[in-house]
């Protein structure tokens, strides 16, 4: 099964602590062993034929090694590869991407090529600073260190079209109603109908007034995303000079090098970075794809403080088990290996702080308790339509969302809390209530012998089995 005259399969190989481990799903027009050899060759030292320049030292030290194959059919299966640390540049994330997430997708033998996970050695992680503030820093600023309640926020809607004054008026009502965070949406930056500086200055003044009135710290995540890096830095400096605390980046759209540069500038300015993941699903949802959790790992490494990861109960793809897994990548220091989720597991270096997850997309107050069952309390519950679509308007919608979070902090079900809180009651009447027991049942199903059932389904159906678990559970 050698590819290009060389064999990359070595089932006796035991990965080293410094190796990068990558888990692939492969399916195509040849036995899975040959497909695996082709991917290993293309992503490391080889090509389609024997070459006179291939030295034994190169092949011995720098090739990818296929150390495990779990076959589903003759032509498909899960492939585990180990790449030596020296294969990659120091701190050059894009060179690593070009290898394990690059040219291999174009191999014509492949019908499916999905990268499920990349395990990062601690030696590599130590090159990065991680989040400047993370969960603890943001909680300390907002003042929720003791209560541990979920944070609540909104996206000003409509996404685009409001004037700076109209935008600031919506933000005022949202904060006055008890929300911690107001943010721009992913496609609002500096349009003529709402210039960035005018909008930002008006919202900053509004924030100051609301903080004085409520006695609570508030955050505004202003979108500074731009194709011009100098312009992004100018906006960041304006945020800093205005005494505000947060900027927002469309991290997938911007690309890792730009994100690294701006995050570094934000850290110097002591600003929090709110990361929106717009665009990620073009890779995450296809048969030729890259799992979102891989991008998430790198965004935690380079140091964003808040990151959209999905809800598990809203309008975006992803069921409870998958979103809980993404949450663990963001918050935990040890993520267990779970084959049926496509997870290799991960252990973070102790200095890489946890990220505050953002649950956004189709959220409303009636989904808060179910979302907390998936994420825990270290989460920002963010609702756009679920605030501004409230029958009482934005102020009432904000109050309803905050009431749901306060209920959680007090150990009371929001469904019960609604009996004495009109805004929450009206929200639940409008959008319904998601029983958290339906979520908890999915985690109960995962445990014990049921885990073997999930593994059996994946061994039987391959990537389709994993996708079913991602979506149904």
Catalytic positions, written as ranges: 157, 276
Shortest CA distance to 86 belongs to which of 78, 75, 95? Answer: 95
Give the C-alpha separation, 208 to 205, whole Å: 5
Shortest CA distance to 369 belongs to which of 442, 427, 313, 328? Answer: 313
- Contact criterion met (CB below 8 Å) for 101 and 115: yes
- Contact criterion met (CB below 8 Å) for 32 and 77: yes
- Contact criterion met (CB below 8 Å) for 24 and 462: no
Output the CA–CA distances (angstroms, integers) from residue 235 to 11, 75, 201, 453, in the order listed.
Answer: 53, 52, 11, 52
Give the distance, in angstroms, between the CA of residue 215 and the centroid of all CA atoms in the same chain: 32
Give the C-alpha separation, 185 to 361, whole Å: 11
Give the C-alpha separation, 63 to 66, whole Å: 10
Give the C-alpha separation, 146 to 136, whole Å: 11
């Amino acid at each position: 099964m050698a590819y290009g005259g060389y064999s990359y399969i070595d089932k006796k190989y035991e990965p080293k602590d410094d190796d990068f481990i990558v888990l692939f799903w492969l399916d195509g027009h040849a036995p899975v062993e040959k497909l695996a050899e082709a991917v290993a060759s293309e992503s490391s030292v080889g090509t389609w034929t024997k070459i006179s320049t291939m030295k034994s030292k190169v092949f011995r030290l720098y090739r990818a090694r296929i150390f495990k194959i779990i076959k589903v059919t003759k032509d498909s299966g899960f492939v585990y590869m180990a790449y030596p640390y020296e294969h990659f540049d120091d701190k050059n994330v894009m060179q690593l991407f070009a290898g394990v997430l690059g040219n291999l997708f174009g191999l014509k033998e492949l019908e499916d090529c999905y990268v499920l996970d990349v395990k990062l050695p601690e030696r590599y992680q130590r090159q990065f600073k991680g989040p400047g503030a993370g969960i603890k820093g943001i909680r300390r600023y907002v003042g929720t260190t003791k209560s541990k309640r979920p944070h609540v926020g909104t996206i000003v809607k409509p996404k685009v079209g409001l004037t700076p004054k109209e935008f600031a008026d919506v933000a005022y009502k949202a904060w006055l109603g008890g929300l911690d965070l107001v943010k721009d949406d992913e496609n609002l930056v500096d349009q003529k109908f709402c210039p960035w500086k005018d909008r930002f200055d008006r919202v900053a003044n509004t924030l100051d007034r609301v903080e004085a009135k409520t006695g609570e710290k508030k955050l505004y995540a202003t979108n500074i995303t731009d194709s011009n890096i100098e312009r992004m830095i100018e906006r960041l400096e304006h945020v800093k000079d205005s005494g505000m605390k947060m900027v927002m980046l469309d991290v997938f759209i911007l690309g890792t090098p730009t994100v690294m540069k701006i995050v570094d500038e934000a850290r110097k300015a002591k600003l929090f970075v709110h990361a929106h993941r717009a665009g990620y699903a073009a890779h995450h949802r296809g048969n030729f794809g890259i799992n979102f959790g891989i991008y998430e790992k790198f965004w935690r490494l380079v140091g964003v403080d808040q990151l959209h990861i999905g809800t598990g109960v809203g309008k975006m793809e992803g069921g409870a088990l998958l979103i809980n897994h993404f949450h663990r990548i963001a918050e935990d220091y040890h993520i267990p290996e779970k084959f049926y989720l496509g997870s290799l597991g991960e252990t973070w270096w102790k200095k890489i702080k946890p990220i505050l997850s953002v649950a956004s997309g189709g959220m409303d107050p009636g989904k808060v308790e179910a979302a907390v069952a998936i994420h825990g309390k270290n989460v920002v519950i963010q609702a756009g339509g679920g605030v501004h679509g409230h029958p009482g308007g934005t102020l009432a919608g904000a109050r309803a969302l905050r009431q749901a979070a306060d209920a959680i902090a007090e150990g009371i079900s929001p469904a019960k809390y609604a009996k004495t809180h009109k805004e929450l009651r009206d929200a639940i009447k409008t959008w319904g209530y998601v029983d958290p027991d339906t979520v908890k049942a999915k985690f109960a199903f995962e445990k014990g012998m049921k885990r073997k059932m999930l593994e059996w389904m994946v061994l039987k159906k391959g990537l389709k089995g994993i996708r079913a678990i991602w979506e149904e559970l």
